[in-house]
Structure 1
């Protein structure tokens, strides 16, 4: 889902950067406030998990790729601001060191996979957790987070033919419109990557819940 350099017009990535900077500042401050000695190890481990799963990019039609994110797990455990900052930091490192996603479009990737995925996951989980089976709620939380993120990516790519054409009328930046990006990018995340994200969220959260229960049980017995 990482958008590379050269696909997005300055008319898109400059406003996105202006919007992302204050959000990242707030997210950084909230992350500093949230981290303590007890939470740092788990937060670091889950951020590393997100880093790894986002490196497994599967090319899809429509000019981008698909992969899991891990946003829902971070958002449920640490809140959306912390999740958004950790994912944005991961995206920046991937773009800077590994060339996975562009630096010029970092803000769009951050807004999509960092902020939109994290905040949608947090509020979907908040809405569903007391209304249905916990396992199903976790699955839907993960599924919805990556689908919402894919919508942002699809729209950012799909509007590019409207923002710049050469003398022959050919798009200067990304060549395919919304009629291609919406079904290709969003559709693939609805049907495949969202399912992967949902199961990953469900399995990791259930594992962490089981480990927490075992540790609490041992402390009581001890």
Structure 2
């Protein structure tokens, strides 16, 4: 679901940035409530987990791959504004350090994955959960549906953006300049991958985290649920939540190379030289795609690989560790900066 550079026209990328940038600016202001409640480390942890989850490439029956995002659970626990910051930072470093998703297409990826997905997830969750108690099974079901619907929505939006390119941007002969896929190809491909596999993974992840918080860390679940009845609940902790979170992240990090077992890449993310031109009715790579595909050439660990390693899984695990640290630290610093500005504004008002 990460759109690479070259698949979207500069005009499309410009429109996406025009929507994403001001939205993220508003999110940075709205997220003050989260940092005021001293949950900056939690936000940083969720950001790192989102980065990690997006490294898990799950094989799809048609030979491609897809992945969950983790944005839905951040939206439910800390709110959609916090989720926007969390996922957008993860996407930024995926593009800059690992070449996963384009730099020119960053605005579009943020719009689809970091903005639309959390908003849809939060809306669906609130609609289904209503005023149910925090420990109600209804909230777990609501979380699962929210994760499934929101990821599928983001996938469809991605498919639309890719699919409209040939009709909007082509040369005099009708040859596509950017994405060579039409809507009749992009929508079914994105829906198949996310309705059958990735959406299920997102649903399981989201429901699993909410179920765990209901049992072990109810105060965290209360952050974004003010006024919800919790009188009939009692916490049942066997281990500290931070310990459980650390163990879970460690296990996920070690398992990230499972994505290497997938036989192919994600739909719409092929490098120009990997396109099957004959099946697309093309004799050459679309001009714009060929021009912009190599726009960002400074990804240090391109493809989650460390140069010269003989075992790809080693590079994948090390990339996961590096990504977790970088994303977590950056989001932590952003949260602390917002916290400092918020504190200053409060003092000035006094």
TM (norm. structure 2) is 0.58
| Match of residue 144 from structure 2 | 139
Aligned partners of 1:61 and 1:88: how far apart in 2? Answer: 29
How much has 1:36 moved relative to structure 2? Answer: 3.8
Aligned partners of 2:152 and 2:102: how far apart in 1? Answer: 21
Q: 1:163 to 1:208 in 2, by over 3 A?
A: same
For residue 212 of structure 1, the aligned residue among 200, 208, 217 is: 217
| Match of residue 109 from structure 2 | 109
Question: In structure 1, the residue corresponding to 2:46 is in which secondary structure?
Answer: helix
| Match of residue 39 from structure 1 | 39
Gaps of 5+ in 2: 221-233, 238-350
| Match of residue 192 from structure 1 | 197
How much has 1:49 moved relative to structure 2? Answer: 0.7
| Match of residue 50 from structure 1 | 50
Gaps of 5+ in 1: none
Residue 203 (structure 1) aligned with residue 199 (structure 2): no
Structure with the higher helix share, 1 or 2: 1
Q: 1:61 to 1:85 in 2, by over 3 A?
A: farther
Question: In structure 2, the residue corresponding to 1:72 is in which secondary structure?
Answer: helix
How much has 1:11 moved relative to structure 2? Answer: 2.1
Residue 4 (structure 1) aligned with residue 21 (structure 2): no
Q: 1:214 to 1:169 in 2, by over 3 A?
A: closer
Residue 118 (structure 1) aligned with residue 123 (structure 2): no
Question: In structure 2, the residue corresponding to 1:55 is in which secondary structure?
Answer: coil
Contact 1:59–1:66 (CA under 8 A) maintained in structure 2: yes
| Match of residue 176 from structure 2 | 171
Question: In structure 2, the residue corresponding to 1:56 is in which secondary structure?
Answer: coil
Contact 1:68–1:146 (CA under 8 A) maintained in structure 2: yes
Aligned partners of 1:67 and 1:138: how far apart in 2? Answer: 18
Aligned residues: 218
How much has 1:117 moved relative to structure 2? Answer: 0.5
Residue 180 (structure 1) aligned with residue 157 (structure 2): no
Aligned partners of 2:50 and 2:172: how far apart in 1? Answer: 43
Contact 1:91–1:110 (CA under 8 A) maintained in structure 2: yes
Q: 1:136 to 1:49 in 2, by over 3 A?
A: same
Q: Per-residue displacement from partner, 1:41-77 (whole Å, max 9, x unpaired)?
A: 2211111110101122357699x85211111111011
Question: In structure 2, the residue corresponding to 1:101 is in which secondary structure?
Answer: coil
| Match of residue 159 from structure 1 | 164
| Dislocated runs of 4+, deviation >2 Å | 31-34, 56-62, 130-135, 166-169, 213-219
Higher mean displacement: 195-204 or 27-36: 27-36
Please show how residues 16-95 of structure 1 align to structure 2 within 5 Å.
16-36=16-36, 38-58=38-58, 66-95=66-95
Q: 1:24 to 1:217 in 2, by over 3 A?
A: closer
How much has 1:213 moved relative to structure 2? Answer: 4.8
Contact 1:60–1:184 (CA under 8 A) maintained in structure 2: no
